[in-house]
Amino acid sequence: MERFRFLIWRPVQMLPVLLGVTLVTFVLVRSLPGDPVRVLLGPRARPEMIAATRHQFGLDEPLPVQYLFFLKNLLAGDLGRSIMYRAPVFEVIAERLAPTFLLIAYALVLSILLATTFATLAARNEGRFADHLVRGFCTAGLGLPGFWLGILLIMLLSVRLGWFPVSGYGETWLGHLHHLFLPALTVAIALAPVLTRNLRATLIEQMGADHAQAARSRGLTEGEVFRRHVVPNALLPTVNLLGVNLGWLIGGTVVIESVFSIPGLGQLMVASIFTRDYMLVQGITLVFALTIVAVNLTVDVLTVALDPRVVL
Amino acid sequence: MIGRTVRRVGLALLTSAATWTAAWAEGTLKIGRDQDSVYMDPILVSQNADVWVLNNINALLVRNTRDATGVEPDLAQSWTISEDGKTYTFTLRENLLFSDGSPLKASDVKFSIERLRDGEGSVFGSMFTVIDAIEIPDDRTVVFQLKERNEPFLTVLALFAAAILPEAAVTADYDSFSAMPIGAGAFRLVEWRRGDRIVLERNPHYWEPGLPKLDRVEWHYIPNDNTRILQLQAGELDAMIFVPFNRIAELDAAEGIEVHLDPSSRMDHILINHARPPLDDVRVRRALAKGIDVDAIIQAVTFGYGTPANSYIPAGGMFYNPDNPRWTHDPEGAKALLSEAGASDLSLKFLVQAGDANYEQVAVLVQDQLGRLGIKVAIEKQETGQAWDTIVEGDYDLNTNYWTNDVIDPDQKTGFVLYGDDPDVLSYYTRYNNPKVNELILQARIEPDQDKRRALYYEIQRIAQEDVNWLGLYYSPFRNASRSYVKNFFQNPMGRFMLETTSIEK
């Protein structure tokens, strides 16, 4: 438990980071040319109406004042109102959380499954055919553009074979899993190679390490050596790699949700940037930032749990 | 281990089979669209995605006919207009009900139209300020007193924003109403999942007997064109809208799918900024008109599905002059005009909305065509949100844009596009201002004689074309597609999907 002491301080340390995120987002999105109210009301709206609506959303106040309002509301748990939907940002985001997080989790599970299977296969058969096959798949997976691959999978598995729905989110838990399989697979095919190569390398390294040799000399079978000594030591770097890649993953949902028409945060983020929905952009960015903070924390916890030598 | 996998795969296949059978449920039409709904309150709505859903769930006093050449009774069964054109008296049908069963009375009409005229944030409110007062002598009679004669008034009442809403529901709990609206149209809203779909079911209290034929309509939001087409091909959608020009032939040839190219009021054009010299010189503008090759653009961009625009009024529109002269492609004549105007060494900034593949193509073609006249065209891409501000501020020379009519009377578009004395609109931000045209516009607005009115609009069309108020490009049809078992999937020129007569026959 001593080792987990860092958990208490970490949230406090994260606060300035999150604050920085909100500030940068605020400044960036507002320095974009284009007026959200003009986008909202369309080209035929009269200037008086545009001015009245801007006032309604507090957009005619000076920028520092607007930022302070935002912070004040944030502390009270209020993320503001979406200009586009004229509804509380919190509600709009809450509606879209589930599909995106389910997609990310699904993609993670698939990636981990693929990565551990392939890496193990490759490491145990180093230099032989299986190893070369896995490394070939990795290169292909890294090289294929996700957008293109997604559409290809839809054409083959949905339109031609009818095994999976083309897009959307579906009803019921089983429906969600069914609908999200192709998008999750598309992401996994892009993410798994990175994890696979890294895990394979660390596995091979650990398989040749002194402690593994020592275990073999004590009479343990190769399988037992692998499971009890090699894997735990090899996991750590890959877990950290996973944590780093999660940020990429979250950003990638934007493209994937667009191709597969999943009503999630990624799609919402794109729409809110195009319509200059400032409050919504800030809200979603904050959610993403919090997610990444939480993930990094989890990775740190896992690191400490897996390796008693680590002190954070 | 294996057993578990087999069971899982089996379950997945079964589920997909179940999904397919559910999709074949009688009377359900699933339409894929590229825009998501944002509002359900008709006075706040400005984007087509919202308009087209509202058309299904709301009803009006009068509505456009199927071919949009006139108006016909909707909730009102008849009306009279006074001699001086300032008093309109409508008689509502008997026993009208909203979708929740509550009665629709004259007071609801008065409430809805007054709210449209005066309400905060009402996008089209300015079109109704000509109404001085609304009187309701009894539950089925509504009398509009106008401030002055206004020929377009009847067609303006057919605007989607003039939907008749239940006063009780709107005033009692507006937030609930805007989340789950109640109307008197052929369908009623039963589910609204933002970013996903809108589900409508037949309105049992709809006034037209025997309609709608469908039990259920679902509008699915699928922004990616390819995905939408794939869904239609896979049979997950029964219909889709906005087929890209370059996929029309392929889809139409596909088995089981039909493409519908219903005539629309859409016109694509290139705005010219008259406030930036030398574009204020009519000779330079005429040179531009002669310099571009509209036929080549139509072939390349619309694959021949568009028709050349010879007037700012769309083909088939009210008082459209099919013989209005068109500027023909004449590069030599154009060069002569340019040197006459002393503008042979011209440099222009062409503003294009990013992400619109068609407009990007047009810009490149125009850049090439004008380049042959010695004009240097610099293409500047901006996102839609930013582009509109740029246009309003006038920081452009040329810009691709389009217009679709909201009402069938030409006054709305004419006023917006050609009336130079409106400081808020500046002739669609082209800053075009011809006092003669302004005068004709005001005259046409109050001219009761149809023939004289037609003559006025013909004159306006002629002068606008001579002045080159803008560069007309093409008219294009709506591009929708549906599976063959969907009958009567039709979009009228005002953009309304006439879903009450659509049916599914399997």
As a whole number of angstroms, the longest Cα–Cα distance in chain A is 86
- pLDDT by residue (tens digit) across A179-189? 899 999 998 98
Interface touch B230/A260, C-beta < 8 Å: no
Instruction: Tell me whether residue A37 is in a domain.
Output: no
Which of B177, B231, B353, B428 to mutate to probe the A interface, most A CBs <10 Å? B231
| Distance of alpha carbon B282 from alpha carbon B464, whole angstroms | 11
Cβ pairs A/B, distance under 8 A: 131
Please provide the size of chain B in residues: 506
Q: Are strands B71-73 and B62-64 parallel, antiparallel or unpaired?
A: antiparallel
| Distance of alpha carbon B415 from alpha carbon B438, whole angstroms | 9
The answer, for B196 touching chain A at a CB cutoff of 8 Å, is yes
- pLDDT by residue (tens digit) across B120-129? 888 888 899 9
Q: Are strands B187-193 and B197-202 parallel, antiparallel or unpaired?
A: antiparallel
**Residue in A42, A158, A170 closest to B230 by CB:** A158
CB-CB neighbors (< 8 A) of B224 in chain A: 258-259, 261
Instruction: Tell me whether residue A169 is in a domain.
Output: yes
Rounded to a whole number of angstroms, the distance between the first and last alpha carbons of chain B is 43
In the predicted model, is pLDDT for residue A149 greater than 80?
A: yes
Closest C-alpha to A264, from A180, A181, A145: A180
Residue of B nearest to A274 (CA): B385
Per-residue buried b or exposed e for A33-62, using 16+ beta carbons within 10 Å of the residue's own CB: ebbbbbbbbebbbeeebbeebbeebebeee
Instruction: Tell me whether residue A237 is in a domain.
Output: yes
Question: Which range of residues forms the domain containing residue A186?
Answer: 96-274
Phi, psi angles (nearest 5°) of residue B150: -145, 100
Residue A111 is part of a domain; what is its CATH number? Answer: 1.10.3720.10
Confidence at B11, pLDDT banded by 50, 70, 90: low
Closest C-alpha to B33, from B258, B212, B238: B238
Residue whose pair of structure tokens reads 């008109």 in the numeric block: B289
Interface touch A166/B424, C-beta < 8 Å: no
- Tokens coding B56: 């299904």
Instruction: Tell me whether residue A121 is in a domain.
Output: yes
Instruction: Tell me whether residue A72 is in a domain.
Output: no
The answer, for A298 touching chain B at a CB cutoff of 8 Å, is no
CB-CB neighbors (< 8 A) of A46 in chain B: 126, 424
Instruction: Tell me whether residue A296 is in a domain.
Output: no
Number of separate domains in chain A: 1
Please provide the size of chain A in residues: 312
The answer, for B47 touching chain A at a CB cutoff of 8 Å, is yes
Phi-psi region of A300 (alpha: psi -120 to 50; beta: other; left: phi over 0): alpha
DSSP E strand boundaries for B356-449: 376-382, 398-403
Confidence at B23, pLDDT banded by 50, 70, 90: very low
Interface touch B388/A260, C-beta < 8 Å: no
DSSP for A164-184 reads: S-SSS--SHHHHHHHHHHHHH
- Tokens coding A190: 């892009």
Q: Is the dihedral of CA A57, A59, A61, A63 positive or negative?
A: positive
- pLDDT by residue (tens digit) across A236-250? 888 888 888 888 888
pTM of the model: 0.83
Confidence at B329, pLDDT banded by 50, 70, 90: very high
Instruction: Tell me whether residue A291 is in a domain.
Output: no
Scanning A145-174 for CB atoms below 8 A from B yields: 151, 154-155, 158-159, 162-170, 174
- Tokens coding A153: 């999978």
Instruction: Tell me whether residue A167 is in a domain.
Output: yes
| Distance of alpha carbon B228 from alpha carbon B30, whole angstroms | 12
Average pLDDT rounded to a whole number, residues A165-186:
86
**Residue in B224, B230, B385 closest to A159 by CB:** B230
Cα distance from A256 to chain B (closest Cα, Å)?
11
- Tokens coding A230: 């090699």
Q: Which of A1-5, A149-153, B113-117, B452-456 has the lowest mean pLDDT?
A: A1-5
Cα angle: B27, vertex B30, B33; to 5 degrees = 155
pLDDT for residue B217: 96
